[in-house]
Structure 1
Amino acid sequence: MTFNYKNILAGLSVSALLGLASLGTTSCSKDFIDLDDPTRLLSSEGYPDSLSIVSGVTAAYSALQDQYGKSSANNRGIFVFGEIPSDNSTALTSGERLNEFDDFSIISDNPRLQSQWLMTYRTIARCNIILSRGQTVKLTAANRNRYFGEVRFIRALSYFNAVRIWGDVPLVTGEIESIPDAYQFGRTPQAQVYTQIIEDLRFAKKWLPTTRTGNDLGRVTKGAAQGMLGKVFLTQKQYAPAATELDSVIRDNRFSLQPVFANIFATSNEMNSEILFAVRYTKGALGLGSAFTTWFMPGYNETQTRSIIGANFTGQQFNVVDSDLITTANASGTADVRTAASFVLPAGASATTSYYTRKYIDTPTSSTDAENDWIVLRYADVLLMYAEAVNEQTGPNAAALSAVNQVIRRSRNLPTNTANATVDLPGSISSTDLRTRLELERRLELNFEGHRWFDLVRTDRAIAVMNAYFARKNATTRINQNNLLFPIPVQEIQTNPILTQNPGYN
């Protein structure tokens, strides 16, 4: 996708905050992200018609591609923060400064910090423009609220990512029309940001449709808003409302586990029954493809590469499976089908011990043009979060165990809704033991989907788990409370001096 800028501004982040970036014309088989200059500011008075607001909403979806990782946007995406700092992944490449996230030596001038900040606030700005200028468009109330529900979900998701990465962040909920106005935004306390996230998701839940079909497949639904709201509440340790929202998704019966674990990630099976929300990409030399296939691949030779993806593209080694995760997965036993479906060694494995995640296997048209979507939220995550919310609120009960047992049964290729004494967790399990098992199941189920580091922080386990991991590796690295947040990009502080830095960083 080609970016054009209405104005060239001194600070890139200010241009993102102002929402002045626009997208060029593209074509895409995933029809709802088929664009025609979608963020062009058509008039200072507002959007003139319903078609322009539809294009603007589409631009907000498209901005999520840049935020979650896209080569043309020069942003690596959420895995840099959700996987590389964890015990799941190792970054083997040089020159990208991803190693700073791996060993917690992050410096505030790291370009990965700046690009993620820029793409996050660009997404938010596009949402704010729609919410501001869309008020004047002649639409039915139902249509207006549906469009607003979509962009408020996207804004909430963007702020949820931001607050988990940086903590207190600037909270901007309206269109900013001048550079001086942009400089008035300092860091807003996390609690206030979360209040806005919850308000946005509640609005989205109220007005979004329950299903999407045809050209709209992939647009956000009520279930996605409910599931994300449950995740937000769980992150804040508000277990009762988390359980309520997640239980609503379960009871609605609109989502279900895929019978075969590997099928969740097949590019021929996108937006399947398990997917609540995904950031959608499509290959075909249109500028809309994903780069995860080669970004996550170790530096295999051509024979090894072709044995996995059917092409000779060189792996970038940005997000390689850590041996600690392989050890944990193998300990689950050969009956756990997730291991073979999640990791692979290439042909001629004696030449390398670096495993590759199978969740992003595709045959790209170029090294950065693959079909793989980024799954943001899926039903297995909902089931495990529901069990966690119930366990933390009241201790184990039948409903919580039913939820987690469905995930465990699927991992053994067993019918998910039929009790199985061989693998099911016993009704007598303690709250402590269930907490430990849920941590393990989330790691085995959701690895390389951007959850692990945020899970460890959310459950107050990051310091203990990571320091034990570093000890097993005989590494000198140890982390403390300051490492639970990442530094504010130094470019932002230089551009806007009222921004402050997180503790422990310069």
Structure 2
Amino acid sequence: MKNIYKIIISGLLMTSLFTACEDSEFLEAPTKSTLDESIIFSTPGLASGAIDGILEPMGQTNSYRGRFIPFYGFNSDVEYHFSSSQAGSSQGELMIYDAKPNNTQMNSTNNAWAMMYSGIERANICIRGLRAYGNPTPGTELGQLLGEALTLRAIYYADLMKTWGDVPARFEPINSETIYIAKSSRDIIYKQIIEDLGEAATLVPWPGESTRTSSVERINKAFVKGFRARLAMVASGFQQYPDAVRRSNDPDLSVANMYALALSEATDVIQSGKASLNPSFEQFWKNYNKEIITAGEESLWEIPFADGRGRVLFSFAVRHRSPDQYTGQGRGGSAGPIPTVFYDYDEEDRRRDVTCVPYQWGTAINDVSVQELTASDTWYFGKYRYEWMDRYVTSTNDDGVNKIYMRYAEVLLIAAEAANELNGPQAAAPYLKEVRRRAFPTSSHATKVDAYVDNLSTKELMFDAIVEEHKYEFTGEMERKQNLIRWNLLKSKLDEAKTKMTDFMNRTGDYVDVPTTLYYKYEADGETLDIYGLNRGETTNPGVDYSAKSWDALDDTTINSIYKVGVNPDERQFWPIWQVFIDGSNNQLLNDYGY
């Protein structure tokens, strides 16, 4: 039973750190705890409650739950938020690289920025207390708790930097002298949290090696090492600094250093045998929607939401137009794959039909709905499906399904990318093959796995293949945007997506053989569509049992809303700091990047 947000933290560390005072940065020094820290952090049960409190800000409405998860990550070359095409939409401007500091979705004192720093402050208090009073050594419960606190703080900082770039660095609890501080170089923060994760990896057990690491809702060694590998790649990658889009100038964050670290951590996870790919891509996503949270498999860590918190399916699932036999919510479908993504997959790739869904569930009649074809400009993320859940969602706007933060497939692709850079394509090949081996039927492994990968004979060819594989594996998980940035491919790939969509609209170029008419009928269950005409070249009418539907709805408005015309996404890789935090910073905070 998922219960992290049901834990009562005893009021010990829950003092609000963010207020609406006009003369503050919305940060105040915390009041003294009702119990002495020496008791809290030397007592495993009390300390555990405090660690759980670090996660609590994620569940606030305007935090990860209702703002950060639904909106960050769009638009990429594979993922498109439907608000993007709505002129003047406050949600839309967040996706089209035109966010304003006073954006009405975000410009509030309890927004994700504030909640992330609330979580960091709680982590800082826990880290200080455990170090001072807990003797947190490897193999001890208090040691494990310190490792969790260090990792959770790193998560908050990683998300702050991928969203805003340079941000204030706070690694000690706030006092009267540190209420107002300026932004720090992200390089400093990256180095600190990478070091922290190195320590955390010595403190937390592997998945399933303790009661606490039996669930993916808890921090474990496989996640810590995989996350550290991800951050090493990001820290050494391209990103927008105030002066230019470039790699870090800090020699500690060089490609040579960070890729070696990433490869070491990734191969540690791979060789441990403590994580693995589910043999079936579809079954993995079914298990996820069924809320199976056993650690030691593909999911490494998930942001945990109780049943009445979290809006992952509410935001991203295959759309249900009303409450029906599968959900009492009648939601989903705020975003989906760009229309061309389906046609970029190999037709034998088993990930395609799981990821890209061309239908919704229509308005229910007598509480029962059926699948209905959407238009060619509206696809849904099939990884998220109410119909795959075991639980019937009744909340108005929260579904309670966790957000996967990292899974094992990413560790394999990090290993492939780092190995390719350091040692060449032959060193990368086994990791890429493992990802593709699951994607294709056994009968196609000789051609679609072995021959395909073995023909990637240069670093450049292997790198390009890894970029493409990331698309096929992770569309709909909102990981693509940050990777495009670190690869220095953001604008070029967005422009490529626009060109592809134009070709798709006109049925030219790579999409000349995509049908313009779909044919459909219902299976024996009366609700599931049997669709003909989705695949290239399927143009022959399959018979009188099928109904026809035009497959031509894409237009220039949708294409041009991938990013705002006249804006260069490489000059707007980050959101601005929201105006309420600028105004309350005592002149310490300012926006870069032309905001």
Q: Provide TM-score, normalisation by structure 2.
A: 0.71
Task: State how 1:40-55 maps to structure 2 within 5 Å.
Answer: 41-43=33-35, 46-48=38-40, 49-55=43-49
Contact persistence 1:19–1:129 (CA under 8 A): no
Match of 1:376 among 389, 405, 408: 405
Q: What is the DSSP-based 3-state SS (H/G/I as helix, E as strand, rest coil) of the residue aligned with 1:276?
A: strand
| 1:218-250 Cα shifts (integer Å, max 9, x gaps) | 311111111111111111142122111111111
Q: Which residue of the partner structure matches residue 151 of structure 2?
A: 153
Counterpart in the other structure of 1:358: 382
Contact 1:149 1:204 in 2 (8 A): yes
Q: Which moved more, 1:102-111 or 1:243-252?
A: 102-111
Go from structure 1 to structure 2 and tell me whether the alpha carbon gap of 1:341 and 1:87 turns closer, same or farther (over 3 Å shift): closer
In structure 2, what is the equivalent of residue 30 of structure 1? none
Counterpart residue type for residue 151 of structure 1: A
Verify: 1:108 aligned to 2:101, yes or no: yes
The 10-residue stretch of structure 1 (273-282 or 112-121) with the greater mean CA deviation from structure 2? 112-121
Give the secondary-structure state (helix, strand or coil) at the position aligned to 1:145: helix
State the distance in 2 between where 1:311 and 1:271 align.
Answer: 24
The match for 1:164 is 162
Counterparts of 1:4-23 in structure 2, within 5 Å, are 9-11=19-21, 14=25, 18=29
1-structure distance, mates of 2:413, 2:493: 20
Number of equivalenced pairs = 467
Mapped to 2, the partners of 1:312 and 1:365 lie a distance apart of 5
Compare 380-389 and 1-10 and name the one that shifted more. Answer: 1-10
Residues 92, 8 of structure 1: alpha-carbon distance in 2 compared, 3 angstrom cutoff: closer
Q: Which residue of 2 aligns with 1:427?
A: 454
1:123 and 2:119 correspond: yes
Specify the alignment match of 1:349 in structure 2. 372
Distance 1:294 1:53 in 2: 33
Note closer, same or farther for the CA distance 1:458–1:6 as it changes in structure 2 (3 Å cut): closer
Structure 1 residues 176, 47: closer, same or farther in 2, change over 3 A?
Answer: farther
How far off is 1:181 after superposition?
A: 2.7
Q: Deviations over 1:18-58 (max 9, x none)?
A: 567xxxxxxxxxxxxxxxxxxx9333655444322110011
CA contact under 8 A between 2:124 and 2:171: conserved in structure 1?
A: yes
Pair 1:239 & 2:259 matched: yes
| Matched residue, 1:34 | none
Correspondence for 1:453: 481
Q: Is the 8 A contact 1:338 1:445 kept in 2?
A: yes
Following TM superposition, by how much is the alpha carbon of 1:421 offset from its aligned partner in structure 2, in angstroms? 3.8
1:157, 1:8 → 2: CA distance?
19
Change (3 A) 1:6 1:376: closer
Answer with 1 or 2: which has the greater Rg: 2
Shift of 1:264: 2.1
CA contact (8 A) 2:70 2:315 kept: no
- Work out which of the residue numbers 172, 177, 199 in structure 1 matches 2:195: 199
Rate the CA distance shift 1:426–1:311 in 2: closer, same or farther, 3 A.
closer
CA distance in 1, matches of 2:212, 2:264: 31
Contact 2:412 2:435 in 1 (8 A): yes
Task: Work out whether residues 282 and 290 of structure 1, in 8 Å CA contact, stay in contact via their aligned partners in 2.
Answer: yes
> Residue type matched to 1:503 in 2?
Y
Across the aligned residues of Structure 1 and Structure 2, the Cα RMSD in angstroms comes to 3.0
Alignment of 1:502 with 2:496, yes or no, is no
> For the Cα contact (< 8 Å) 1:486–1:502, is it kept in 2?
no
Larger CA deviation: 160-169 vs 131-140 = 131-140
Cα deviation, residue 388, structure 1: 0.8
From the two aligned structures, give the one with the greater helix fraction.
1
- Per-residue displacement from partner, 1:486-505 (whole Å, max 9, x unpaired)? 21112111111111212211
Give, in angstroms, the shift of residue 112 of structure 1: 2.9
Would the alpha carbon gap of residues 377 and 16 (structure 1) be closer, same or farther in structure 2, given more than 3 Å must change?
Answer: farther
Query: Deviations along 1:232-279, whole A, 9 cap, x unmatched?
Result: 111114212211111111111111100111222323333451011111
2:430 counterpart of 1:402: yes
2: CA distance, partners of 1:336 / 1:412: 5
Instruction: Tell me which moved more, 231-240 or 450-459.
Output: 231-240
Deviates more, 1:326-335 or 1:370-379: 326-335
Question: CA–CA distance in 2 between the matches of 1:47 and 1:239?
Answer: 42
